[in-house]
A and B are shown apart, each in its own frame.
Chain A
Amino acid sequence: MKPTILKNKSLKKALQNAHFSREVPALGDQWKVKVMRRVREIGPPARVPGFWNGLESMLWRLAPVNAILIIPLILLFLNMDFDLGYDYLSNLSAEPETSSLSYLMGMEGLQ
């Protein structure tokens, strides 16, 4: 349905006049007192932190958790055997012509 009544200029003008001529109450000094009372109850508005400030505060909040986690992680790494990786590397560097993936994976002789 194509609007046609709304395109009537007389009607539109009349409705616009009605819209713009609405009566408004006079706001006395009491109105201002009420607004300022509410505003003072709220107190100074809190500043919105910028992106980096927000990130920084979040990271600092996680610092105690990180500190607690670091100690068991250190203990774990100290007890782990790191030689395995070293062995693979040394094999590769010592005998490059004979070392192969099958040898490294312990599958030599299966062919």
Chain B
Amino acid sequence: MNRILETNDSAIVAQVLQGDVNAFEYLLNRHRDLVLKIVGKHVPFQEVEGTTQDVFVRAFRSLPSYKGEGVFSQWLSSIAIRTCYDYWRRAYRNKEVPEASLSEQQRNWLGKVVSGESEQAREEDDHQTEARELLDWALSRMSAKDRMVIELLYLEELSVKEVADLLGFTPANIKVRAFRSRRKLEKLLRGVLEKRKKTS
């Protein structure tokens, strides 16, 4: 048992492929926090547990395709991102994405941050709620692919190549999508600011 704990991921994968399904639990324990961290950023709170399960089950099914060439955690991260993307594709297809509305408070917060009226608008914990709700509102109005690209490229500042590898698309595809999704997000936020000007 201790020998398994010391072996690397590739050795455990080989063991699972030879028929020792229980050995997969070691991979689960080792990489649970990584997958939880990734999934937690991309799907709603109530879906995190189920989606994390799906990631590991999908990884288990895909083990034969892991050739041991790259780092296992990187391979698993890619599966986690694609599982999150598939979650949103299903949600949009089944029209399960709630279209939240923005409150005046959130519109005011955006106005203050953009105009630099108040440094507090950015820093206080209460305003983190405003930021999160504004972000959720904007992302709910974008397609599954657009929201993943915005989250990975704009918010997490990954490179185009990294995003392409994680999502399984070509870099050219990601560049085009990035341009469109940023333009869409810009338009949404601009609309919020204009509405704020009209009501104030």
Question: Contact residues of A with B, CB < 8 Å?
Answer: 1, 3-6, 8, 10-25, 27, 31-32, 34-36, 38-40, 42-48
Q: B residues within 8 A CB of A13? A: 122
Q: Given that A11-B113, A36-B24, A39-B57 are known contacts, is A22 also in contact with B132, CB under 8 Å in the complex?
A: yes
A4:B155 contact, CB within 8 angstroms: no
- Stretch touching chain A among B58-66, B73-81, B92-100, B163-171: B58-66
Which residue of B has the minimal Cβ distance to A28? B49
Counting chain B CB atoms within 10 Å of each CB, the highest count among A18, A20, A23 belongs to A18
> What size tier do the contact residues of chain B reach?
35 or more
Tell me the smallest distance from the CB of B151 to a CB of chain A, in Å.
7
Contacts A39-B56, A48-B65 aside, 12 further interface pairs with beta carbons under 8 A come to: A1-B186, A1-B187, A3-B183, A14-B113, A17-B128, A21-B132, A23-B40, A25-B48, A27-B52, A36-B25, A36-B28, A40-B22
A22:B17 contact, CB within 8 angstroms: no
Q: Given that A20-B41, A24-B48, A35-B53 are known contacts, is A15 also in contact with B155, CB under 8 Å in the complex?
A: yes
Question: Contact residues of B with A, CB < 8 Å?
Answer: 16-19, 21-22, 24-25, 28-29, 32, 36-37, 39-41, 45, 48-49, 52-53, 56-57, 60-65, 110, 113-114, 116, 122, 127-128, 131-132, 134-135, 151, 154-156, 182-183, 185-187, 189-190, 193
A14:B122 contact, CB within 8 angstroms: yes
**Contact partner of B155 among A8, A16, A24, A42, CB < 8 A?**
A16
A19:B61 contact, CB within 8 angstroms: no
A24:B53 contact, CB within 8 angstroms: no
Tell me the smallest distance from the CB of A20 to a CB of chain B, in Å.
7
Q: A residues within 8 A CB of B154? A: 6, 12
A42:B57 contact, CB within 8 angstroms: yes
Q: Given that A18-B131, A35-B56 are known contacts, is A44 also in contact with B65, CB under 8 Å in the complex?
A: no
A10:B182 contact, CB within 8 angstroms: no
**Contact partner of A10 among B21, B63, B113, B190, CB < 8 A?**
B113
